[in-house]
Structure 1
Amino acid sequence: MVLLRPARMKKIRAVILDEKVDPVIRKLHESGLVELYDLSTKLEDPEWSAFLAPSPSAEYGRNVASLTIKVSRMLDLFSNVSKGEKTGLSGILNPKVPEKKKLSFSSSAEIISHVENVLSCVEGEVSEPAKKLAELENRKAILEALKDSVKYLADFELDLKFLGEGPYTYTVSGLSFPENLKGLESSLTDVTDGYVEIVKGAPVNTGEKEQKIPIIVNTLKQYMDVVGAELRKSGFERLDISEVIGTPKDVFIGSEKELQSIEKDTKSILEKLNALSKKWTEEVLVLHEILEIEKERAEAYSMTGKTVRTHLVEAWAPSKYVKKVQEIIETASEGYSVVEISEPDEPVEKIPVLLDNKKAIKPFEMLTEMYAPPKYNEIDPTMMIMPGFLLFYGIMLTDAVYGLLLALAGVVLWKRMGKVSQGAYNLGYILTLSGLSTVFFGILTGGYLGDFMLQFMGMDIYSTGLALVNPLGESTYISAAKPLLSLGGIDVNNGPMTILLFSIVAGILHLFIGLTVGISESLKKKSLLDAFLGQGMWMLLILAIVTTVFTGNMMIAGVAVILVIALCMIKGFMNGGVLDALLGAMDITGFLGNVLSYARLLALCLATGGLAMAVNIMAKLLGDAIPVIGILIAIVMLVFGHAFNFVMNGLGSFIHSLRLHYVEFFGQYYEGGGKKFSPFKAKREYTSN
């Protein structure tokens, strides 16, 4: 087996004349071949700071940031006025890939000028209706608040223009709790020396599920402050009514009419803005994208070092791209640069990792990265994850119909949603292959919605020889009369025993592969003792157990177990003394537990088939027990029952397949914890250069 490692990295260091830095950064950004190295930490070192100073972000970054805010506000406006438009399920499952607009700029000044010109055109058409819309919305809010207030004063024939502070009097309206009203009247009379008039209306229901009484209080202007204080103490709720003329009823009716007019005008403006949104959204998205790209370039300057006339740029690049990167720098700088290429000079934890698998395997890198990317000098396990994951998934779900549904769902994700999302592309590809694996094992085990054919068609797949293994019993090929084989006096004569045997054998092989990789890695580090104590003794144990199974000589396994326990204690003593040596004796149980952990393949297989069978039996009973409508209930039971089984066991198979890799398999050789390669790359969805 050829073990793949992450792409080899080189450190690139370039000293570039100030005037030529911008084109270099632009070309590197478009190429996406390097990861810029942030020099800010190094420049804190006196040895570096003696000849290099930190570089600020590019000056044009301020203009870019300002324009980005304007463009974002415009996009927010377009998004708000387009809320009524829905893409529907077909739009979600088959998203439209935007047509890229070809644009080419040689400097930030050109980009800023282009954005300002286009934005000016957009604002010229949008600003007036947007301003009018804002005014209408503001007026609508005022009128709705006014309506909420005057509706409580419907019984009063008072011109509301008299509310508030007059030349000699002060009049205020509001709501009071009935139980507080008598005390309020008394206290107001006292503080105003009797110069107060309180007019009460009929009780009204407020939104708080309680009744209050609307009142209007009129007093002399000189008592305004003390009256206000008394009102606040009594829990008086003042109604915010000002600068209106007419009775409450007239104001209420007038507000409703004006609101209807505002609603009509608002609808007209929204239609106009919606049309403008359709006209300009794609263009504004283009502006937003090129500004975001320009922002990244401006910020890239802060990762460099600066002298009086030059900039120092450091970057990581995969070895296969180094010559191309050097050519880009020298061409973009017109020769005003010095480029140095060297081997990585950082700890392995800081060297970026780029996984470099073939196209057919690359989507499975997602599963590796879900655990942790490998360290720079570590094995990339992706190639070994793919076959194991598909094998385990197919055995655990093991229903051909479920597998077909899973494959179809995977194709939708892969071929449709994957057009706009790399994550959907990877997941869809993995699910498609997992579905095909499930179909294969479903055919081998006769799983077609569980025992649907037996329950509803009277066809026993296992007695007809159309399935090799029956996960829940015997088949034509494996039965008490035709045992598959005998091991240590135990006959493998039914489906569960066959699948359990297969699971343990697959687990032993899986672990043996991991141990082989681990011992190879240890030997490369010239640590023979670590290789033996870390992986070798477990390989010895596996070989001893396999030999015992085939020869029947229990002494071989017994000697191996005693030897491994002794080695575990020696290893523990070397690491931490007597206590660790005693604890080390238990390591053998952990390893044997890892082997037995693969029995979950049988457990999930039985869970899928058993639950499917239960759904079929219940549906059959409902269909037989209830006349006419029972058939409909049975169909509903089948649809929802199998949907539940498919989703839950499909998810369970995914999780447990990953667990067998992340815990049992990776535990033999893989550590992870690398830093993922993050290319300095222009992200283009709406534009091309």
Structure 2
Amino acid sequence: MAVVTMHRVNICALKKDRKRILEELQRLGVVEVCDSQGGEQFEKTDTAEARTIFEKNAQQARQAALILDDYVPEKKSLLASLEGRKTLSLADYDAYSAERDEVLRVAYRLTALEKEIAEKKADIIKLEGQIEALSPWLALPVSLRYGGTKHTAAFIGSVSEEMPLEAIYARLAEAAPELDAVNVDILTLSKEQTCVMATSHKQQAQALEEAMRAIGFARPASLPPLPPAEQQHVLEGEVLAAKEAIEDAQNEIISYAGTRNAMRFMVDYFTLRGEKYRMLDKLAQSKHTFVLSGYVPVTAEKLLRERLELNFDAALEFYDPAEEEDVPVLLKNNAFSAPVEGVLESYSLPAKGEIDPTGIMSVFYYILFGLMLSDAGYGLLLVLGCGLLLWRFKNMEEGTKRSLRMFFYCGISTVIWGILFSSYFGDVVNVVSKTFFGNEVGIPPLWFNPTQDPMRMLLFSFALGIVHLFFGLSIKFYMLLKAKQFKDALFDVVFWYLLVGGLIVLALATPQFSQIMNVPFTLPALAGTISSVLAGIGAVGIVLTGGRESRNWFKRILKGLYSLYNISGYLSDILSYSRLLALGLATGVIASVVNQMGSMGGKSIFGVILFVLVFLAGQAINFGIEVLGAYVHTNRLQYVEFFGKFYEGGRRKFEPFAVNTKYYKFKEDVSNG
């Protein structure tokens, strides 16, 4: 449980070794590179153009890999995401990198094919729309552009309502009585529109057109050159051709399925090269040398010196960072505590002068999680599930591995609490024995059953919460002593210990409190008297010192009184641990209800089947809900109640220049141009 000490490092080496040194640093992954400063003879290199090319190539390969995944899906198990990245041998690395030009050509071809497919699909939609628009005109033997002959005029269009032939003639006669030679043919008739073709002598064309417009006549929006039936045939041919082109493109994409791994390699390859060139921007370079600056954990200094000074003409300088520097944070914990580092990182990493609370937090985290879930059956499921996954997928990513280990330890804690409270999938042992064997048998608790004695569980929750909070205060006390702030340790910690601790002892010495809270004991009156004096000393001390930053005594006392008001915050924090009772009871009660529902079929074949189905479904749902609830509320107790007593955080995570890839892990001896 420690924050690894960070040193600044300056590396000065020959420019001819620059690429190899950067590759070595990238493989080691122990240096966070910063902007390097040199003298007047040093300058920076702008690699933006090269990095843009690498990023473009990586994106192209990534897009091509996604295209192959869409058209040629891989057969993966449900747990494939736990398999981690594949390890790539040196021979495979060299083979893939040698073919990068050809692989990029295929990548561009794949994206072009996908674009072609998208365009053809858009064309099909457009063509089908045109075919649909022609359907009312298929009976027309001439083109929609037809306007008549030398001596006649023709008007082809539609009226936006249902209008029989008699109605059309009547409306035309009403609109233009002078028309005496008009022929109207209805092509299609529907409730939405009536498609017609009207003809007349050339001399009456204008009158006919005006009359047609008077009844709502409008020409088609699209006027293809061919008759509708012929035009439809042409369009259908184009649709067929587009579908064939799509099929050809899809088949060609499928033919490139064998390049999937090469595409994934190129994503990692160009990502690494882009990252390496990004580091070049941070180097200070002269004509023959370069300088690299960064942060390195003290535990890696020996390794770094051996790798660089023995293999290159390089000089390394290690020294303490300046006080004002934003030094990154690297945590180091044992196998028991390291799994909850992610919980701490989700909140914030330790600030300067703060300790790494992961070790202490991990103990309380596992205890509190197990107490909230508190069912041996559910705990066993966590232990077996996480244990089997950790055993089966040894190559999984470190973050996933830590999460599974955390839930593995949480599962062990849950099993222990479940045995203490006699909760095995609720009361499944009692229900099964009574329903199917006629004789109720149960496993007695090693301690007590919270569902039968909830007040006892509530008191235990409060007691555990007080221990948790006091541990937080003790950490603050330790940090203040370490910083030689002895007065602050007395004023901000000891006085609060006296006040809160004194009030707790005073309450336990009060018979009324013991009776109300069902406490099985009452402390002697002398203990109450002593604790009240100590609490009074703590309260007076807080009032006098809570506003000590103010020189004005009146303001100091007012601020001290406001600080004393924080006693309500301690009360709120202690009451917040009642969630341990609530979640623990919820787990057992809901599980028991599920068992009772399953046993409603009685002692019969049907009853057994019903019980199994209800048990599996109900317990699975309850298990998922309660595990999620325990995780959320355990985090909350750490973040709000525990960290609120001593922890601020605020620094950033150590992010070394390393091999950050998505698909492959490269072996140590990989080198690349």
Into which bin does the TM-score normalised by the smaller protein fall?
A: 0.7 to 0.9
Equivalent position of 1:247 in the other structure: 228
For residues 191-590 of structure 1, what are the structure 2 equivalents within 5 Å? 201-202=187-188, 211-212=192-193, 239-240=221-222, 242=224, 245-248=226-229, 250-252=230-232, 255-256=235-236, 259=239, 263=243, 266-267=246-247, 269-277=249-257, 279-307=258-286, 310-330=289-309, 334-335=312-313, 337-347=314-324, 350-411=326-387, 414-415=390-391, 419-458=395-434, 465=444, 467-473=446-452, 495-541=453-499, 543-544=501-502, 549=508, 550-552=523-525, 553-575=527-549, 577=555, 578-590=557-569
The amino acid that maps onto 2:406 is I
Relative distance call for 1:53 and 1:170 in structure 2 (3 A) is farther
Report the Cα distance in structure 2 between the residues aligned to 1:133 and 1:56, rounded to whole angstroms. 39
Verify: 1:158 aligned to 2:137, yes or no: no
Relative distance call for 1:650 and 1:68 in structure 2 (3 A) is closer
SS at match of 1:352: coil
* Alpha-carbon distance, 1:52 to partner: 5.3
Judge conservation of contact 2:351–2:650 (CA < 8 Å) in 1: yes
Report the Cα distance in structure 2 between the residues aligned to 1:305 and 1:351, rounded to whole angstroms. 21
* Alpha-carbon distance, 1:273 to partner: 2.6
**2:100 corresponds to which of 115, 120, 129:** 115
Report the Cα distance in structure 1 between the residues aligned to 2:14 and 2:321, rounded to whole angstroms. 25
**1:98 corresponds to which of 86, 90, 93:** 86
* Alpha-carbon distance, 1:320 to partner: 1.6
Judge conservation of contact 2:284–2:291 (CA < 8 Å) in 1: yes
The amino acid that maps onto 1:80 is D
Equivalent position of 1:480 in the other structure: none
**1:178 corresponds to which of 161, 168, 171:** 161
Equivalent position of 1:678 in the other structure: 655
Relative distance call for 1:204 and 1:312 in structure 2 (3 A) is farther
* Alpha-carbon distance, 1:314 to partner: 1.2
* Alpha-carbon distance, 1:380 to partner: 0.9
**2:28 corresponds to which of 24, 27, 31:** 31
Relative distance call for 1:203 and 1:530 in structure 2 (3 A) is farther
Equivalent position of 1:606 in the other structure: 585
Report the Cα distance in structure 2 between the residues aligned to 1:687 and 1:342, rounded to whole angstroms. 32
Equivalent position of 2:517 in the other structure: none
Report the Cα distance in structure 1 between the residues aligned to 2:158 and 2:77, rounded to whole angstroms. 48
Report the Cα distance in structure 2 between the residues aligned to 1:341 and 1:82, rounded to whole angstroms. 52
Q: Count the aligned residue pairs.
A: 624
Report the Cα distance in structure 2 between the residues aligned to 1:560 and 1:24, rounded to whole angstroms. 64
Report the Cα distance in structure 2 between the residues aligned to 1:256 and 1:153, rounded to whole angstroms. 16
* Alpha-carbon distance, 1:556 to partner: 2.3
Report the Cα distance in structure 1 between the residues aligned to 2:158 and 2:83, rounded to whole angstroms. 55
Relative distance call for 1:544 and 1:62 in structure 2 (3 A) is closer
Equivalent position of 1:488 in the other structure: none
Judge conservation of contact 1:410–1:430 (CA < 8 Å) in 2: no
Equivalent position of 2:601 in the other structure: 623
Report the Cα distance in structure 1 between the residues aligned to 2:185 and 2:545, rounded to whole angstroms. 94
SS at match of 1:10: strand
* Alpha-carbon distance, 1:353 to partner: 0.4
Once the two structures are superposed, what CA deviation does each residue of 1:407-436 show, in whole Å capped at 9, x if it has no partner?
A: 344346545577443332222111122122
Verify: 1:643 aligned to 2:620, yes or no: yes
The amino acid that maps onto 2:547 is F
Judge conservation of contact 1:352–1:376 (CA < 8 Å) in 2: no
My pick for the range that moved more, 363-372 or 643-652, is: 643-652
Report the Cα distance in structure 1 between the residues aligned to 2:318 and 2:59, rounded to whole angstroms. 40
Judge conservation of contact 2:545–2:560 (CA < 8 Å) in 1: yes
TM-score when normalising by structure 2: 0.78
* Alpha-carbon distance, 1:472 to partner: 1.6
**2:46 corresponds to which of 45, 56, 68:** 56
| RMSD of equivalent CA atoms | 4.6
**1:656 corresponds to which of 627, 633, 647:** 633
Report the Cα distance in structure 2 between the residues aligned to 1:27 and 1:237, rounded to whole angstroms. 75
User: Quick one: percent identity of the two aligned structures?
Assistant: 24
Judge conservation of contact 1:18–1:309 (CA < 8 Å) in 2: yes
Equivalent position of 2:511 in the other structure: none
* Alpha-carbon distance, 1:67 to partner: 3.3
Once the two structures are superposed, what CA deviation does each residue of 1:379-417 show, in whole Å capped at 9, x if it has no partner?
A: 111111221111111111111122222334434654557
My pick for the range that moved more, 632-641 or 596-605, is: 632-641
Verify: 1:74 aligned to 2:74, yes or no: no
Relative distance call for 1:242 and 1:76 in structure 2 (3 A) is farther
* Alpha-carbon distance, 1:295 to partner: 0.7
* Alpha-carbon distance, 1:173 to partner: 8.3
Judge conservation of contact 2:367–2:413 (CA < 8 Å) in 1: yes
Report the Cα distance in structure 1 between the residues aligned to 2:97 and 2:445, rounded to whole angstroms. 70
Report the Cα distance in structure 1 between the residues aligned to 2:488 and 2:183, rounded to whole angstroms. 97
Report the Cα distance in structure 1 between the residues aligned to 2:404 and 2:610, rounded to whole angstroms. 33
Judge conservation of contact 1:173–1:215 (CA < 8 Å) in 2: yes
Q: Higher Cα Rg: structure 1 or 2?
A: 2
* Alpha-carbon distance, 1:150 to partner: 2.4
* Alpha-carbon distance, 1:519 to partner: 0.7
TM-score when normalising by structure 1: 0.77
Judge conservation of contact 1:418–1:428 (CA < 8 Å) in 2: no
The amino acid that maps onto 1:270 is Q
Judge conservation of contact 2:379–2:414 (CA < 8 Å) in 1: yes
Equivalent position of 2:9 in the other structure: 12
SS at match of 1:56: coil
* Alpha-carbon distance, 1:18 to partner: 3.9
Report the Cα distance in structure 1 between the residues aligned to 2:198 and 2:389, rounded to whole angstroms. 68
Judge conservation of contact 2:107–2:263 (CA < 8 Å) in 1: no
Relative distance call for 1:343 and 1:90 in structure 2 (3 A) is closer
Relative distance call for 1:570 and 1:140 in structure 2 (3 A) is same
Judge conservation of contact 2:154–2:199 (CA < 8 Å) in 1: yes
**Gap runs ≥5 in structure 1:** 206-210, 474-494
